[in-house]
Amino acid sequence: MTFLNEKEKQTVYKTILNRRDVRSFLPKPVPSDAIDRILEAAHHAPSVGFMQPWNFILVSSYEVKERLAWAAEKERKALAIHYEGEKETKFLRLKVEGLKEAPLTICVTCDPTKGGAHVLGRNSIPETDMLSTACAIQNMWLASFAEGLALGWVSFYKKEDIRNILKIPPHIEPVALLSIGYTDKYPEKPILESVNWEKRQSLKDRISHNEWKDSSN
């Protein structure tokens, strides 16, 4: 195994630091070979017990994407009642139109039964299947940036709505709706940071040694 040289190492960190959650897409088609590489990156994500609990549903039908957007918009409006004033306004500005704009949306699922009843790691911590799926999604995000593509993760929906729309079995978890495409509005900062929803917190306040330290003090 040959490790990265300095230039390659800097490219990895650049990719990590510049990955963004994007909401605006161009109608330009995405090359199928790029999608293949993104999915291959996802499939090589670390997986607890090597269970590989993910599946990927590729949605290119505009009709299906409209139904997914309906489910997301419905839930977004329901969630907005939890926010007041300026924060509510900013929350409502977060768009789900990307689900319809992007040429492709990928639903990433997690199968909690994958590997049977006894999977290394999941026996002790059941949530490791979802954590493994999250690693696959992160790989997709980084690979999309490497391909010059934007990716947006929509998380406002009721799981049962998505199961009904995409005919997903009841025991399968629809973890994410990821819209992928080209964009001419790639943000310099994370969207929620740019609208002052929250500030990036200090890393040093998140580090403790040998035992827990409450960073809120």
Residue 72 maps to a domain: yes
What average pLDDT does the segment 76-98 reach? 70
Residue 202 maps to a domain: no
Domain with residue 175: its CATH number is 3.40.109.10
Share of the chain above pLDDT 70, in %: 91
Give the bridge partners for 181, in sequence order. Answer: 150
- Alpha helices, H only, 53-203: 62-79, 85-93, 98-101, 128-146, 159-166, 191-194
Tokens 């670390």 — which residue?
Answer: 46
pLDDT by residue (tens digit) across 103-133? Answer: 999 999 999 888 767 677 677 778 889 999 9
* CA proximity to 72, closest of 176, 215, 168: 176
State the number of CA atoms in the 13 A half-sphere of 198 facing the CB.
6
H or E element that contains 108: strand 104-110
> Alpha-carbon distance 110 to 133, whole Å?
6
Residue 40, pLDDT > 80, answer yes
- Alpha helices, H only, 147-175: 159-166
> Alpha-carbon distance 157 to 137, whole Å?
17
Radius of gyration over every alpha carbon of the chain, rounded to an integer in angstroms: 19
H or E element that contains 54: strand 54-59
pLDDT by residue (tens digit) across 161-212? Answer: 999 999 999 999 999 999 999 999 898 888 778 777 788 888 988 898 999 9
Share of the chain above pLDDT 90, in %: 61
pTM of the predicted model, to two decimals?
0.90
Residue 8 maps to a domain: no
> Alpha-carbon distance 126 to 122, whole Å?
5
Residue 66 maps to a domain: yes
Domain of residue 155, residue span: 25-115+126-197
> Alpha-carbon distance 210 to 177, whole Å?
38
Fill in the DSSP letter of residue 190. Answer: -
What average pLDDT does the segment 60-69 reach? 96
Residue 143 maps to a domain: yes
Residue 17 maps to a domain: no
Residue 212 maps to a domain: no
The residue with greater pLDDT, 215 or 172, is 172
Residue 88 maps to a domain: yes
Give the pLDDT band of residue 88 (cuts 50, 70, 90): low
What average pLDDT does the segment 50-73 reach? 94
Fill in the DSSP letter of residue 7. Answer: H
Q: What is the pLDDT of residue 80?
A: 76
Q: What is the pLDDT of residue 128?
A: 86
CA 158 to chain centre: 16
Q: What is the pLDDT of residue 143?
A: 98
pLDDT by residue (tens digit) across 128-151? Answer: 899 999 999 999 999 999 999 999
Give the pLDDT band of residue 76 (cuts 50, 70, 90): confident
Q: Please count the structural domains in the chain.
A: 1
